């Protein structure tokens, strides 16, 4: 069963920033792209690198281990060596609460 869970406040993730979370057995990150929030798995599909420790440029996150790139808005691979897309999660904002559907 999937449900929305509160993970943070909108103030915790500034525009152009991202933050990693571990909850309900999942590791994911939430990114703020131009004031809109997106969530996706934070374990790289290439070699299990920690995407939340990578860099966010625009809507693209780069894995710190081997440089794989993913679009945080869609989870799609945008740069090798990864070939498999990341799973994304629905995000909802209620007041200042960030909720992610896990």
Q: How confident is the model at residue 17 (pLDDT cuts 50, 70, 90)?
A: very high
The pLDDT of residue 22 is: 95
The pLDDT of residue 39 is: 98
Q: What is the arithmetic mean of pLDDT over 64-78?
A: 98
How is residue 31 written in tokens? 């990114």
Helix (H) or strand (E) holding 74: none
* 3-class DSSP assignment, residue 18: strand
How is residue 4 written in tokens? 């929305």
Q: What is the arithmetic mean of pLDDT over 20-25?
A: 92
Q: How confident is the prediction for the chain on average, in pLDDT?
A: 96
Q: What is the arithmetic mean of pLDDT over 10-27?
A: 95
The pLDDT of residue 1 is: 57
Q: Does pLDDT of 24 surpass 90?
A: no
Contact 14, 98 (CB under 8 A): no
């Amino acid at each position: 069963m999937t449900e929305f869970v509160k993970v943070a406040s909108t103030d915790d993730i500034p525009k152009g920033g991202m933050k990693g979370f571990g909850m309900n057995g999942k590791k994911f990150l939430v990114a703020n792209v131009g004031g809109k929030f997106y969530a996706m798995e934070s374990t790289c599909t290439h070699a299990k690198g920690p995407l939340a420790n990578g860099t966010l440029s625009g809507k693209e996150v780069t894995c710190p281990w081997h440089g794989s790139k993913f679009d945080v808005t869609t989870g799609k691979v945008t740069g090798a060596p990864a070939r498999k897309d990341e799973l994304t999660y629905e995000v909802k904002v209620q007041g200042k609460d960030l909720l992610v559907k896990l």
